[in-house]
């Protein structure tokens, strides 16, 4: 039997992995690979929403632990059900989730179910014990020392970006790259414009929020946070609420927290209560904590 893992649902019940951690997906995958090595080679397929892994990581699939992403505009739950419907023997799959709606759907197509809270107990029971010194607690987004979840989300990617001196002289060169067909270059351009583009960067970054690639939208949203122009707040709020990709919604929440304008609190409060993804709810709560730590203007 192959396990189908509802990725973020399992992360949400794993005590020592935090949904607000930008690397939570990779932590889960490492845990699953270790479990597979102990569990006689049981194969797993892990589903995440489109664009959930940071763009600077390569394909994280490994033998026996495949990673799949939903299509743009599709949830991971729908991707799981579509996958099972395409199998000739869905009964050979067991779906790991605590999501009641998904549980009903997978049972209806003939797959079996393992509660995520039961599965995480198996992982913990089989895991080799760690000494207290080897355990690093997950970051607390409400702690004063954890002032900026944005920085961890993009730090490794920013380290790869090298801006030629001559390009820094003329923002138009980076604006042209932002509108170009090379998505990697366009993401670099968004980052440069967020840091150095000034008032010329606002309009092109807002245009980039309509890009079909969720990674590009997330880069533009983060760049608007770096730019810090209040004129970008309506776009950030719109993407926080309406973007289909959780990666983009998380980026919007992080940028709203960085800008720190108290007028957006109601948007973040709503998302913190009602977003379908736990990591987005946590990102919204962390952004609220950042904003409320600042005096009202």
Query: Per-residue confidence at 58, pLDDT binned at 50, 70, 90?
Result: low
Mean pLDDT computed over 24-50: 84
pLDDT in tens, 112-139: 999 998 898 888 754 444 444 444 444 4
Report how far residue 5's alpha carbon sits from residue 114's, in angstroms, rounded to the nearest whole number. 9
pTM: 0.50
Helix, strand, coil percentages, rounded to 5, for the chain: 60, 10, 35
pLDDT in tens, 205-230: 999 999 988 889 999 999 999 999 99
Mean pLDDT computed over 260-274: 93
Mean pLDDT computed over 86-115: 92
**Non-local CB neighbours of 274 within 8 Å, separated by 6+ positions:** none
pLDDT-above-70 percentage for the chain: 80
Report how far residue 283's alpha carbon sits from residue 285's, in angstroms, rounded to the nearest whole number. 5
Helix (H) / strand (E) containing 178? helix 171-178
pLDDT at 197 over 80: yes
pLDDT in tens, 62-91: 888 999 988 877 888 999 999 999 999 999
DSSP-derived 3-state class of residue 5: strand
pLDDT in tens, 233-264: 999 999 999 999 998 999 999 999 989 899 99
Q: Cβ(16)–Cβ(138) under 8 Å?
A: yes
The pLDDT assigned to 87 comes to: 93
**Non-local CB neighbours of 101 within 8 Å, separated by 6+ positions:** 77
pLDDT-above-90 percentage for the chain: 38
Q: Which residues make beta-bridge pairs with 65?
A: 44, 62
Query: Per-residue confidence at 265, pLDDT binned at 50, 70, 90?
Result: very high
**Which has more confidence, 52 or 12?**
12
pLDDT at 46 over 50: yes
pLDDT at 153 over 80: no
Report how far residue 35's alpha carbon sits from residue 27's, in angstroms, rounded to the nearest whole number. 12
Domains and CATH numbers, the chain: 2-134 (3.40.50), 149-292 (1.25.10.10)
54 torsion bin: left (phi>0), alpha (psi -120 to 50), beta (else): beta
Q: Cβ(201)–Cβ(171) under 8 Å?
A: yes
């Amino acid at each position: 039997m192959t396990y189908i893992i509802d990725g973020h649902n399992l992360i949400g019940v794993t005590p020592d992995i935090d949904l607000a951690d930008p690397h939570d997906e990779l932590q889960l995958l490492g845990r699953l690979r270790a479990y597979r090595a102990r569990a006689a080679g049981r194969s797993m397929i892990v589903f995440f929403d489109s664009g959930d892994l940071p763009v600077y990581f390569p394909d994280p699939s490994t033998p026996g632990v495949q990673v799949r992403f939903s299509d743009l505009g599709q949830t991971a739950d729908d991707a799981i059900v579509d996958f099972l419907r395409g199998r000739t023997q869905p009964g050979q799959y067991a779906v790991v989730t605590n999501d009641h709606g998904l549980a009903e759907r997978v049972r209806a197509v003939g797959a079996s179910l393992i509660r995520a809270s039961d599965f995480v107990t198996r992982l913990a029971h089989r895991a080799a014990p760690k000494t207290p010194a080897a355990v690093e607690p997950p970051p607390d987004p409400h702690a004063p020392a954890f002032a900026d979840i944005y920085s961890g989300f993009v730090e490794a990617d920013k380290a790869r970006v090298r801006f030629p001196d001559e390009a820094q002289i003329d923002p138009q060169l980076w604006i042209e790259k932002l509108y170009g067909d090379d998505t990697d270059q366009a993401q670099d351009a968004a980052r440069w414009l967020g840091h150095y583009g000034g008032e010329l960067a606002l309009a092109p970054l807002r245009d980039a929020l309509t890009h079909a690639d969720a990674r590009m939208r997330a880069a533009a949203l983060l760049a608007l946070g770096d730019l810090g122009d209040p004129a970008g707040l309506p776009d950030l709020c719109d993407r926080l609420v309406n973007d289909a990709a959780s990666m983009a919604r998380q980026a919007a929440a992080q940028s709203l927290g960085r800008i720190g304008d108290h007028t957006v609190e109601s948007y973040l409060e709503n998302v913190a209560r009602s977003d379908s993804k736990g990591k987005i709810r946590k990102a919204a709560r962390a952004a609220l904590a950042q904003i409320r730590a600042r005096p009202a203007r």
